[in-house]
Structure 1
Amino acid sequence: MRPLLSVVLLVSVFCVLAAALTHAFRPVELALPYTDRFSIDGLKGWQSLGGSWFTESGTVVNDSEERGAKLLFGADTWSDYALSADVQVLGADGDAGVIVRSTDEQLGTNAYSGYYAGLRTLDGRLVLGRADYGWLESQTAAFPGGIQVGHWYRVEVVAVGCTVSAAAVDLASGARSTVSMQGQPCVQHGRVGLRSYGTAGRWRAIAIKPANAATLAALHATQQPRETIDPYQSWLSVVTAAKLSQSFPAADASATPGTVRPIGSLRYADSTDRAPRTIRGVVILRRPMLVVQDATGGIAIPAQDPVRFAPGDEVEATGVPMVSDFSLVLEKATIKILGHGNPLPPKSVSASEAATGVYDAQYIELTGLVAKNQGDQPSRDLLIDTGSQSFRAVLPEKESGRRLLHLPRNALVQVRGIEVVDPHLTRNETPFVLFLPSFDSVELLADPPWWSLENMVWTAPILLVLLLLAQLGRVRLRHLRLHAAMQERQRLGREIHDTLAQSFAGVGYQLQAVRSSLAAGSASVSEHIDLAVDMVRHSHQEARRSIASMQAELLDGNDIACMLEERARHMVKGTPLRIAAVTKGEPRPLPPRIVDALNRVGQEAVANAIQHAGTDTLRIEVIFQDREVLLVVEDDGRGFDAAANLPGFGLLSMRKRADAIGAQLVLISRPGQGTRVELRASLRRRRRLERFLRTGEPHLL
């Protein structure tokens, strides 16, 4: 009953602990509808990818101007729903908004699959588009009065089926703009998020609820006329216009060679049209060929003298655009320098985004681990692994690449360069190549961890050697201890021989002299003296036996049998008693403690048989088996009752010595049937090296 009660109590305690832990670490409720609890729970349940996110007075703030920072929440299974949030853009050159139906998110500018609706301060528009590791801006609408920095706007997005609509309302004036997009295929489900690009932002009053066609119709009830934009007139073109003080007109088929075109628009030109086009941009790479970038993309311009240009130069080039796969090249180009400026900052993207080719011929930065350092090659390149993708980072041959040679494998690095997806340069081994303007474009962020596979390969043999040395030291120390013990036993033997044994001999001589000098008729005194002489003689023999057992040398199996036989013959000298000693099995070196126990127990058994058995024959056997050694001392004398409580310390001493080495002592005897003493000691399997170090016998190796 008591064990059952203990089990019930243990199960109860376990259930209580499990319930407490489940309550303490319960996940955030992901069912709809949802209303934010930033003032209570903070950012619990939200996942940040980039940016610097925190809560403040019931709002959530991204205090970073990182491009494409995201804060995500919800379940991937959410499908048709409406999201509303108050949004505040905190910078003049960016946008902030919300994400719906987001999946497959990673760290990077547009590293997710889903829809984004946001407010852009640069041109005062509400924007709606699709992100799929690249950005496709679908619809925009001019907001009445523009988008003001630090002003609150309510942004509402409804996703039902393949229709996604967004509306923005000025919370102060009530001004409103609405945009919508639809089409197949579309993203059917995903979670929500907050996002800013190039500016800080603030959000509050986030609410999510299920939606249907009626919800979508209600959003469009007060819809304003929407404006469909030319894809070439994206915000990226506006940014470039602000930098170069040049507006980019919309692309058309009748554009003259002098009309400045966005670089990105050349990708959509007719491949049979060989008319020259003019572009403007900033030099981002000089070798192995000149690369110019504006905010819509980049283009390579071959056959140019790199000495004329420097990174950051604003140039105008006219030539024939050629599109090959993702690559864009301006052939037969003439270039003039418009001015000198600072180099463009790189775009922080993920390797998965770069692998799509969207950023071909653009200045980007990526982070990854050094998978292979090929610094001995002429191109001075590195193989970088980001986990999802691998790519080569190449330093021009004329630049000093010595620094790359010192980057260890698995070091965490950040590389900045121009992406190229031309298969002639990727060798079809990686999805893209990153050309580095100089060796300063590689930044070591962290050394490789010490637990890397390469370090483990080197560490394992060293640990094995240290363990072997420790084992050798342990065996050596044990050997020294045994040697010291044998030395001490030898010293004690000499002390007994020089003192106790000599004293016994002297006492015996004195007693003999006293007996010889006694007068006749002193029979009783003579009898006592004879008894004393016998006791002294016996004690002298015991002392000599103890001295003999304290020898320094280690005995093997043959030595034990021979020593016991020699001891027995010495004791029965001048009598007809026959002694037979034999060793069976394969003798081998034994641990000193086992040798000592066999020797002492054997001597005691032999002495008892000679003194008390009245036997004619004494047999001594030492039998070596696979995992044990057996000592047998047997006589055919008068025997005794082994179950009786016998006086004396002989049998007790033998049992103590057997217990000390974990051996089994068996005593078999019956009156008139002789006596058999067996000592069975187990032998542990020992390493050959340890046995070699202990015995010095080379055959053990």
Structure 2
Amino acid sequence: MTASIFAGVLAAHWHANREWQRTLAGSYFSRADRWIALGGTWTSNAAQIQNNSEERGAKLIARTGNWKDFQVQADLQIAEPFGEAGLIVRSHGEEEGVDAYHGYFAGVRTMDSSIELGRADFGWRSMAHSKLPANADPHQWLHLHVVAVGCRIGFEVTLPDGASTTSLVDDADCIASGSFGLRSYLTSAKWRNLQVSSATEQDLTQMEQQSKAGINLHDLLLTEPSDPASAELYTTSMRAEARRHETQPGVTPIGDFRLSPGRHSNVTIQGVIISTPPLADIQDDSGSLIALNVDPRVSLKLGDVVEAQGTVISERFRSQLEDAKIRVLWSDTPVPPLAVTAAQLTGGTYRGRFVEVEGTLISTESQPGGYELTLQDGDQTFRALGSLDFRLDPARLEPGSRLRLRGTATSLDQFTHGIYPFTVITDRVDVVSGPPWWSLDRIAWLVLGCIPLFVCFQWILHRIQAWHTRSLLREREELAFEMHDTLAQSFTGIAYQLQAAKIEQRGERAIRTHIQNALDMVHASHRDASRTISALRPQYRQASDIVAALKELAERLSDGGDLRIKTQVEGKNANLPLAVTDALFRIGQEAVTNAVQHSGCRTLDTRLKLMRSEAQLTVRDDGCGIVNEEQEHGFGIAGMKSRAAKVHAHFDIVTTPFQGTCVTVTAPLQIAHGLIATLRAILSPER
């Protein structure tokens, strides 16, 4: 036992080391199946991982193991002036939402050029907050290093020029283990050179030595107090951002073009990007339109507020912008989708808007860098197109699943091919529920699985029937042998006596002697036939019936003589297996017959003792006993032993010349059969 536990510990340790080595591979984090995306719009390649969304609290959590002491390093670049991004360590229980997880976050805040280390437990608790050097640009590439050993967490940010800022905290009630991940808040961000490895106290000591002073949890429950320089930095950033958010002159609401269908040249619109190329869609408070042939050099992401100039072609249910010149004014969080049905999208009212629609998946097809889905909702069949990301693996989507799609709907022929009423250009697909169990494939597999079971059942049934047939033949063979040994021999003797009487010439007295012998043989044959027929009838099932039948047999054989008969049943009266009752009765019948007809006994005692696992029958007489060896090895005793062996019973005979004979047979009872017999006795309608 100890050796097996030790071997298990070694195997687990070896597996953990292999996991570390595999995690350190450069291409490990570039695969989407290594992560769980919770919010955000994540993309990756062999060089870096990027979030193109400014959602609040977008997270990307690694699917790797539940680790205790480890360190994470990465280079980080934050795009927006009022955002925050960094690394998560010892995380578990993640959900979508701001701080919706248990774990530690260490990141950089661009608004005040600072670093922050804190703990999230579906709420935020700041544990350390330090300023970056005065000349630091928080939007350049920074190197982040987080170490977690025991209940101490260390965080270090290094600038390109080698300057660094460090924070260390102690958390008495710490989170002991978990995974790691990436997180951004109100900004898009990029991570590169991501590395994960084990950590020791020496790594924390080295980080602490590089910092000017260690920082304790109790020293930094609040952020640093504001000074004039920090206040000026805040106000300057706010003024710059406010100027960017000013309404641009000459902007026409998008909804105005629907009121006057036709061609409108040299117009300016302002709105939010709700879908990115190949179908760039811009939406404001009055409506939305499609921007065609967008310059690929313009980087657009969901939530960007843009200014677009060009020619608007307006129709009844849609508008499109040709020769669009788009300029990003500022970045913002994506607008929330409008929940609609497929029937509502077919009507055209909500086409071009940022919507959320559900449908049942019919088929999936992978395309270069993306996927195509065919769905159905009610009587409406529609199409969905999207790009591969961390959220969706089309190969794992099963037909029949209920999906929720978020994106924009269009009826342009280049997307519908003239087949579907609309196509959803989606940026997110969620599985609402899996396919029903009664799909065609599963029913086919179920039928195929039932065929071997049916064949096996037929084979077992055939074997049972064959066994039953063999049992009947064996019983008939035994009956034939018994009739041959009793009735056939008796008939032969009767025929011999009658033949002798027919040819007898010695006189009438000799003839009568032959006839009397024949009559005696007839009576004996009749008794043997009655005994055989009685034994074959399954009339003795209860224990008391066996004893009563043996008493009746003794009374009949004694023919009113002075034989004293005693009977007794010990234990609870119950139904016994048919094979056991037959064996006990036949053995008892032979013992009673021998005692009454051959021993000359005056007292016959028959007892049946019932126990939980066995039944014991005893037939005792006070007759002459077995006086010679020929009687002891006679046919009757051999028959009793044979019947006892058939039911695996123990047979014993004790005899003393001129003092009596005691025959004992002990038959085992199966417990399961006893329980079934008891249940049948309780439920029997005769009771």
Q: For the superposition of Structure 1 and Structure 2, which TM-score range results when normalised by the shorter chain?
A: 0.3 to 0.5
When normalised by structure 1's length, the TM-score is 0.47
Alignment TM-score, normalising by the size of structure 2 = 0.47
